[in-house]
Amino acid sequence: MTEHRQFRWPQPLKGRSQEIWYGGDYNPEQWPEEVWDEDVALMRKAGVNLVSVGIFSWAKLQPSEDSWDFGWLDRVIDKLGGAGIAVDLASATASPPMWLTQAHPEVLWRDERGNVCWPGARQHWRATSPIFRDYALALCTRMAEHYRDNPYVVAWHVNNEYGCHNRFDYSDDAAQAFRVWCKERYGDIESVNDAWGTSFWSQQMGDFSEIIPPRFIGEGNFMNPGKLLDFKRFSSDALQEFFRAERDTLERITPGIPLTTNFMVSAANSVLDYDAWGRDVDFVSNDHYFMPGEQHLDELVYSASLVDGIARKHPWFLMEHSTGAVNWRAINYRKEEGQLIRDSLAHLAMGANAICYFQWRQSQSGAEKFHTAMLPHAGEDSQDYREVCELGQDLKVLSDAGVARSAVAKSRIAVVFDYESEWASEHTATPTQEVRHWTEPLDWFRALADCGITADVVPIRAAWDSYEAAVLPSVYLLDKANAKRVRDYVSGGGKLFATYYTGISDANDRIWLGGYPASIADVIGVRSEAFTPMGSDIDGVLDHLELSNGTVAHDLADWITSTADTVEVLAVYEAEEWTGMRHVPAITFNSFGEGQAAYVGCRLGREGLSKALPELLAHMHISASDGVPDDRAANTGVLRVERIADEGSGRFVFLFNRTHEERTVDVEGTVLVSSRATVHPGELTASIKANGLLVMAV
Per-residue pLDDT of 291-346, as tens digits, reads 999 999 999 999 999 999 999 999 999 999 999 999 999 999 999 999 999 999 99
Residue 256 domain-assigned (yes or no): yes
pLDDT of residue 643: 98
The 10 Å CB-count burial string (b at 16+, else e) for 127-148 is bbbeebbebbbebbebbbeebe
Max CA distance (Å), the chain: 80
Which strand (E) or helix (H) includes residue 233? helix 225-253
* Predicted structure pTM score: 0.97
Q: What type of residue is 583?
A: H
Residue 2 domain-assigned (yes or no): no
Q: Are residues 525 and 644 in the same domain?
A: no
Provide the domain count of the chain: 3
322 φ/ψ angles, rounded to the nearest 5 degrees: -115, 150
Residue 202 domain-assigned (yes or no): no
Q: In this structure, are strands 495-499 and 595-600 parallel, antiparallel, or unpaired? A: parallel
Residue 197 domain-assigned (yes or no): no
Q: Are residues 657 and 605 in the same domain?
A: no
pLDDT of residue 682: 86
Residue 423's domain is classified under what CATH number?
3.40.50.880
Residue 671's domain is classified under what CATH number?
2.60.40.1180
Find how far residue 129's CA is from the centre of its chain: 28
Q: What type of residue is 483?
A: A
Q: Are residues 39 and 121 in the same domain?
A: yes
Catalytic choice (19, 246, 299, 320) = 320
Q: Are residues 228 and 330 in the same domain?
A: yes
Q: Are residues 379 and 428 in the same domain?
A: no
Cα–Cα distances in angstroms (integers) from residue 37 to residues 44, 73, 426, 579, in the given order: 11, 14, 49, 71
One-character DSSP codes across 266-316: BTTB-SS-HHHHGGGSSS-EEE-----STTHHHHHHHHHHHHHHHTTTS-E
The mean per-residue pLDDT over the stretch 662-666 comes to 96
CB neighbours of 680 closer than 8 A, spacing ≥ 6? Answer: 667, 686, 687
Residue closest to 425 by CA, chosen among 228, 265, 236, 231? 228
Residue 160 labeled ligand binder:
yes
Query: Which residue, of 351, 386, 404, is where some domain finishes?
Result: 404
Query: Which residue, of 620, 655, 685, is where some domain finishes?
Result: 620
Confidence band for 631, pLDDT divided at 50, 70 and 90:
very low
CB neighbours of 323 closer than 8 A, spacing ≥ 6? Answer: 335, 340, 357, 372, 373, 374, 376, 384, 387, 388
pLDDT of residue 633: 41
pLDDT digits (tens, 9 = 90+) for 488-535: 999 999 999 999 999 999 999 999 999 999 999 999 999 999 999 999
Residue 527 labeled ligand binder:
no
Q: How far apart are CA 353 and CA 673, in angstroms?
A: 16
Residue 521 domain-assigned (yes or no): yes
Q: How far apart are CA 142 and CA 139, in angstroms?
A: 5
629, pLDDT greater than 90: no
Q: Are residues 252 and 108 in the same domain?
A: yes
| 102 upstream amide cis, omega within 30 of 0 | no
**Sign of the dihedral through C-alpha 550, 552, 558, 561:** positive
For 57, the 3-state DSSP assignment is coil
Alpha carbons within 13 angstroms on the beta-carbon side of residue 204 total: 5
Confidence band for 432, pLDDT divided at 50, 70 and 90:
very high
Q: Are residues 369 and 433 in the same domain?
A: no
Residue 615 domain-assigned (yes or no): yes
Q: Are residues 387 and 503 in the same domain?
A: no
628, pLDDT greater than 80: no
Residue 48's domain is classified under what CATH number?
3.20.20.80
pLDDT of residue 647: 78
pLDDT of residue 109: 98
pLDDT digits (tens, 9 = 90+) for 354-365: 999 999 999 999
Catalytic choice (19, 161, 251, 387) = 161
Confidence band for 648, pLDDT divided at 50, 70 and 90:
confident
pLDDT of residue 124: 97
Query: Which residue, of 585, 620, 655, is where some domain finishes?
Result: 620
Please confirm, yes or no, whether 440 is among the known catalytic residues.
no
The mean per-residue pLDDT over the stretch 477-494 comes to 98
Residue 142 labeled ligand binder:
no
Q: How far apart are CA 353 and CA 308, in angstroms?
A: 11
| 315 upstream amide cis, omega within 30 of 0 | no
612, pLDDT greater than 50: yes
In terms of residue numbers, what domain contains 548? 413-620
The neighbouring-strand residues paired with 406 are 645
The mean per-residue pLDDT over the stretch 233-239 comes to 98
405, pLDDT greater than 50: yes
Q: Are residues 475 and 517 in the same domain?
A: yes
Please confirm, yes or no, whether 320 is among the known catalytic residues.
yes
Q: Are residues 523 and 645 in the same domain?
A: no
Residue 8 domain-assigned (yes or no): no
Residue closest to 69 by CA, chosen among 54, 84, 52, 51? 54
Mean pLDDT of the chain: 96
| Crossing angle (nearest 10°) for helices 439-450 and 296-310 | 110
Confidence band for 382, pLDDT divided at 50, 70 and 90:
very high
Residue 632 domain-assigned (yes or no): no
Query: How many Å is the Cα radius of gyration of the chain?
Result: 26
Confidence band for 669, pLDDT divided at 50, 70 and 90:
very high
pLDDT digits (tens, 9 = 90+) for 13-39: 999 999 999 999 999 999 999 999 999
Q: How far apart are CA 73 and CA 88, in angstroms?
A: 13
632, pLDDT greater than 50: no
Q: Are residues 438 and 539 in the same domain?
A: yes
CB neighbours of 41 closer than 8 A, spacing ≥ 6? Answer: none
pLDDT digits (tens, 9 = 90+) for 58-74: 999 999 999 999 999 99
pLDDT of residue 1: 59
Q: In this structure, are strands 585-592 and 595-600 parallel, antiparallel, or unpaired? A: antiparallel
Q: Are residues 393 and 445 in the same domain?
A: no
Q: How many helices (H) and strands (E) does the chain have?
A: 17, 26
